[in-house]
Every structure is written in C-alpha cells, then in structure tokens.
A and B are shown apart, each in its own frame.
Chain A
C-alpha cells in the first residue's frame, strides 16, 4: 500500500517534536519523498545523528520499501528562522 503524506507526518510527529513537517512527493510515484522538518530535537546534533533520528522514526516504511528514497532537509528552529522563511 502506498504511503501518504499524512502517514509520513503522523509517524514522524509521534516520535519527533516538530514545529514544521512538510512532505513532497518528488516523482509523483509515491515512494520518493522529500521531507522538511524543523525540530528543537535537532539542536546540538550532527547531520548524521539528525538523519538517523528521522530514519529511525520511518524505519518500518523504509524497510518495507514503501519509502524507497528520502531526501531530508532538517533544521533547528534557529536555523530555520535564519533562512528567513
């Protein structure tokens, strides 16, 4: 069964306190996704550790290949503000 943006958001929100979660279906095929996440939980963590948190949260969908590829743009609230968004 194809994963929906709502399911991605819900799954992430369950384990990651986030002020923003945005998803984009990159190919229209429903399995190549980009997520933008702004979370205070990323504070003080390296890129690798931040992405591990997201991978862990979506583990089931990634392992079952419901998500085949995931591009991540992860920001702390301070970094996000600096982007001027």
Chain B
C-alpha cells in the first residue's frame, strides 16, 4: 500500500526543477531559515515552486519522512534532495550552487 502523501510529494519534487518546502510563502516566510533560503534562490533568478508546510500537517510530517531529514526548509533540485538552509547557504558561498542550477535548467 503506497503512502499517499509520499507519492504526492514525490510528484511535486519530480515535476518542479526547484522545489522548496518551507514555513510560510516566499513573500511571507514564517521562519528565518525559510526566509534565507528564499533569498538565496531568488538571487539566482530561477523559477521555483514552494509549498507551505504550516498549511498542512500531513505535508510537514511527510516531507521529513520522504527525505529522512528532520528539519524544514528542504530544497530539491532536479528531483534530488539538496539539503536545508545551511547546506544551500554553504553551496552558495562556495560557488557550487550555480552549476547545480545550470545543470537543472539545461544551461
């Protein structure tokens, strides 16, 4: 028996080149870590989809199981789990995020 919420998450992660699970929305983030993540993604000017985990407790729990990662935000690029705020920040600082995004968007 497939777990419905995991299937739902999997579809979104695969459908969107960049998928962000966050607290709040990109315009109104409800947590500093989510806000910082949005800021980094916006600085690259790439489109990204997001879902507010505060709006749905099943998503909030489901996403942690999906990635086996205990915290939110969570960033997925090209269907792959990249990490949370710290990792995105670190990749950004090291200049390693741009090539990952370029590869995802076929640039």
Contact A48–B83 (Cβ < 8 Å): yes
In the complex, which of the residues A47, A48, A62 contacts B71, with contact meaning CB atoms closer than 8 Å? A62
8 Å CB contacts to B: which residues of A49-81? 51-52, 55, 59, 62-63, 69-73
Which of B5-13, B44-52, B84-92 lies at the binding interface? B84-92
> Which of A59, A70, A73 lies at the interface centre, i.e. has the most chain B CB atoms within 10 A of its CB?
A70
Contact A51–B83 (Cβ < 8 Å): yes
Q: How large is the interface on B (under 10, 10 to 19, 20 to 34, 35 or more residues)?
A: 10 to 19
Residues of A within 8 A of B (CB): 47-48, 51-52, 55, 59, 62-63, 69-73
Instruction: Give 7 A-B pairs besides A47-B83, A69-B71 with Cβ atoms closer than 8 angstroms.
Output: A47-B87, A47-B91, A52-B68, A55-B71, A62-B71, A69-B33, A71-B86
